[in-house]
């Protein structure tokens, strides 16, 4: 039995299979999941698990070189944007229109759906290399 890191077997497998520049999405309950992209649904109830809790767990187990959020997050969910900028360094966070974000999500290896019920609580994480 695994005793540290991501215990969810589906997420653990996706992270282990990521190559350089592959992406995953951590999403709120409202983001449409693109056809053909694997959905890992963690949502239990509204707000659980939270966006921040899920991002923290994934970030501790994944080498991340790039982070993308929807530019609408700044106006409609500044708390989440502030968290992402603190977590990943403000200058390293890219922004794009929400419609472009949804197009980028089509290329993700997986979308991890949280129970977060706040607007634009979505992030694309691009895998880096640790060597």
pLDDT at 1: 84
Determine if residue 83 is labeled as part of a ligand binding site: no
Q: How many residues does the chain have?
A: 131
Active-site annotation holder among 13, 20, 82, 107: 20
Mean pLDDT for all residues in the chain: 96
What pTM does this model have?
0.96
29's torsion region: left (phi>0), alpha (psi -120 to 50) or beta?
A: alpha
Question: Among this protein's residues, is 20 annotated catalytic?
Answer: yes
pLDDT on residue 108: 98
Tokens of 16: 């282990």
Bridge partner list, 93: 67
Spatial separation of the C-alpha atoms in residues 116 and 46, rounded to whole Å? 6
The answer to whether 121 is annotated as binding is yes
Which CATH number applies to 9-127?
A: 3.40.1650.10
Is position 98 annotated in a ligand binding site? yes
Distance in angstroms (rounded) separating the CA atoms of residues 87 and 106: 25
Q: And the tokens for 59?
A: 């970030």
pLDDT given for residue 105 in this prediction: 98
120 known member of a binding site = yes
Per-residue pLDDT at 112:
98
What are the sequence ranges of the domains in the chain?
Answer: 9-127
| 3-state SS track over the chain | CCCCCCCCHHHHHHHHHCCCCCEEEEECCCCCCCCCCEEEECCCECCECCHHHHHHHHHCCCCEEEEEEECCHHHHCHHHHHHHHHHHCHHHEEEECHHHHHHHHCCCCEEEECCCCCCCCCEEEEECCCC
pLDDT in tens, 23-71: 999 999 999 999 999 999 999 999 999 999 999 999 999 999 999 999 9
- What span, in angstroms and rounded, lies between the C-alpha atoms of 104 and 117? 21
């Amino acid at each position: 039995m695994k005793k540290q890191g991501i215990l969810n077997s589906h997420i653990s497998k996706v992270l282990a299979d990521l190559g350089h520049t592959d992406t995953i999405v951590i999403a709120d309950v409202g983001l449409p999941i693109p056809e053909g992209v694997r959905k890992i649904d963690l949502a239990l109830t509204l707000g659980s698990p939270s966006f921040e809790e899920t991002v923290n767990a994934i970030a501790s187990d994944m080498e991340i070189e790039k982070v993308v959020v929807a530019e609408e997050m700044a106006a409609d969910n500044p708390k989440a944007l502030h968290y992402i900028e603190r977590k990943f360094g403000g200058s390293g966070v890219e922004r794009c229109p929400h419609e472009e974000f949804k197009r980028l999500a089509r290329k993700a290896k997986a979308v991890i759906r949280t129970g977060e019920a706040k607007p634009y609580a979505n992030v694309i994480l691009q895998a880096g290399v640790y060597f």
